[in-house]
Amino acid sequence: MAGWRRRLSGAVPIICICGPSAAGKTTFAAHLAEQLRSRGRNPLLIACDDYYRSGWSPNSRYGFDTIDAIDADQLRMQLSAVRYRQLSSLRSYDMRSRKVGSRSLVQPYDLVLIEGSYGPQHFLQAVPISLVVYIETPLLQRLVKRLRRDVSERQRPALYVVRQMLQEMLPGERRFIHPLKRCADMVLRGYDWDIEPVLSRIE
């Protein structure tokens, strides 16, 4: 899809950053937001991970690595409302306790950056998106990064994480995430991105 062709008058443009687990989406979104602020923009960051279901029983095949683990109705509703600045709070999710909460939305913003592996599948055809960026990183790098992240930040046993990656993450990616690449306006590879083309498309 062309960069801004789906933008509607009066709506805040939305940039979607998607791709496999541990590909660097969160880091890229934060870096993009920093660069946009330096150019006078006010981006709002939203993570699809904040829309995981509370009390949800993991899928027998994919565990939490499935679009079914995401509260699709809440995600679409809040993303649609945030386009017109109609929300005072956004959903949040604690990856350690797996409990749902909320965060205040008081900052001014003129652009939304939403990133995630599971979640874009629910809104790419339902909510007008101005630009879709797919982050693609070599598998070995991603596996090492996810192992370190889940053990240190989410307090999960290393063997559990390895089993989860091999038995649930990889099948879930093939089924749900790889098809998103066909929807992308831009594909960035590796952790050493060239951010300028993305900034150019936004500006």
What HEC string does 43-68 produce?
A: EEEEEHHHHECCCCCCECCCECCCHH
List, for residues 73-102, the tens digit of each pLDDT value: 999 999 999 999 999 999 999 988 889 999
CA 29 to chain centre: 9
Give the model's confidence band at 3: pLDDT under 50 very low, under 70 low, under 90 confident, else very high.
very low
Minimum mean pLDDT among 36-40, 41-45, 74-78, 136-140: which range? Answer: 136-140
Instruction: Enumerate domains of the chain plus CATH numbers.
Output: 14-202 (3.40.50.300)
Distance (Å, whole) CA 178 – CA 9 = 32
One-letter identity of residue 35: Q
Place of tokens 């089993």: 163
The distance in angstroms from the start CA to the end CA of the chain is 16
Arithmetic mean of pLDDT, 190-201? 88
The pLDDT of residue 41 is 96
